[in-house]
Structure 1
Amino acid sequence: MQLRVAGIVRESVVDGPGLRLVVFVQGCPHRCPGCHNAHTWDPAGGVDMAVEEILEMVRQNPLLKGVTFSGGEPFGQAESLAVLARQVHHLGKDVITYTGYTWEELQEWSQRDGAVKELLELSDYIVDGPYVQEKRDPALPFRGSTNQRIIHVAPSLAGGRVVMASWGSTQ
């Protein structure tokens, strides 16, 4: 299975708690003004990579706490990322997915698209919402603007309401 990738950062401490491998997917429909990753917007950009190739990078670094999917828009490649997320969990690592969609939009979309539902359920945390330049706050941990939430997925799905991650607090 293939992913269209803008780039990979093998060791990051700014894309979620702990040491993380970050997969920046290619292609984004949101095109948020002021986006830090505007080079990821074009779905024809980037390069194709095998999911297994990315998984091998994870295997090679036992210090990783987990993998972060960013972009671009990860839910635009939900099927391939769900396959990768499942394997990341098998290695005992967690998954954080950044998205320009809101939790509520993802809930609705997941009713119609099994791959979106699967990636949503396999993400331990979702950082949701578009980047809003007017709400930019460099002091926020792990996100760019105050409208974005860090959502703990399993308890949110189980309880039918958004449960915020404790490590993302300051809102």
Structure 2
Amino acid sequence: MKDELLRVAGVIDESIVDGPGIRFVIFTQGCPHHCAGCHNPQTHDFDGGEQVPISRLLEDILENPLISGVTLSGGEPFCQPKPLAELAQELKRHGKHVMAYTGYTWEQLRGKQDADIERLLAQCDVLVDGKFIESQKDMLLRFRGSRNQRLIDVQKSLQAEQVVLAGV
């Protein structure tokens, strides 16, 4: 594994609200979307946060046997696809579920035709796509903030070459 650096706003060591099971959550730093009502506006500045070696994150994740998965949040994780793809690949090797949030839609991500984005998607189990839209905010939605956002089964979607919603 290359020890890429990831610009991180922060982490949560154990979460039960950011995906199924007990999860380690990584909040990436930097976001181009600037959604009104964003839950993490401190993550927008691309120069904020700190540079963290992915090996350190992997070590922190693996030292807790209760962690069943990792959630990549932000900021915008797909603005740092290369180090996240490296980390996600190692996580999958260790049997961890990988979930990511993005302000981009599935179609926008796939349309970028970026090898690192494709590598990251290939390691994800679930993707929550779409910008947070304050007027569509719904506190009853599972794992997402607004009704326009989709829970996508990434592996089935890649295989079908179209969006397949996740049953999470």
Q: CA RMSD in A?
A: 0.6
Which residue, out of 79, 83, 86, partners 1:80? 83
User: Which position in structure 2 is the counterpart of 1:140?
Assistant: 141
- Would you say 1:118 and 2:119 are equivalent positions? yes
User: Which position in structure 2 is the counterpart of 1:154?
Assistant: 155
User: Which position in structure 1 is the counterpart of 2:103?
Assistant: 100
* Higher normalized helix content (fraction of residues): 1
Q: Which amino acid aligns with 1:31?
A: H
Q: Which amino acid aligns with 2:119?
A: E
Distance in structure 2 (CA, Å) of the matches to 1:59 and 1:155: 27
TM-score by length of 2: 0.97
User: Which position in structure 2 is the counterpart of 1:10?
Assistant: 13
SS in 2 for 1:166: coil
- Would you say 1:30 and 2:33 are equivalent positions? yes
Q: CA deviation at 1:55?
A: 0.1
Q: CA deviation at 1:154?
A: 0.8
Distance in structure 2 (CA, Å) of the matches to 1:154 and 1:92: 15
Q: Which amino acid aligns with 2:104?
A: Y
User: Which position in structure 2 is the counterpart of 1:44?
Assistant: 47
After TM superposition, the runs of 4+ consecutive aligned structure 1 residues lying more than 3 A away are none
User: Which position in structure 2 is the counterpart of 1:21?
Assistant: 24
Q: CA deviation at 1:107?
A: 1.0
Q: Which amino acid aligns with 2:75?
A: G
Moved more, 118-127 or 3-12: 118-127
User: Which position in structure 1 is the counterpart of 2:132?
Assistant: 131
Aligned length: 165
Q: Specify every segment of 5 or more residues in structure 1 that has no aligned partner in the other structure, as ranges.
A: none
TM-score by length of 1: 0.95
Distance in structure 2 (CA, Å) of the matches to 1:136 and 1:151: 19
Q: Which amino acid aligns with 2:49?
A: G
Q: Specify every segment of 5 or more residues in structure 2 that has no aligned partner in the other structure, as ranges.
A: none
Distance in structure 2 (CA, Å) of the matches to 1:125 and 1:55: 19
Q: CA deviation at 1:58?
A: 1.1
- Would you say 1:64 and 2:72 are equivalent positions? no
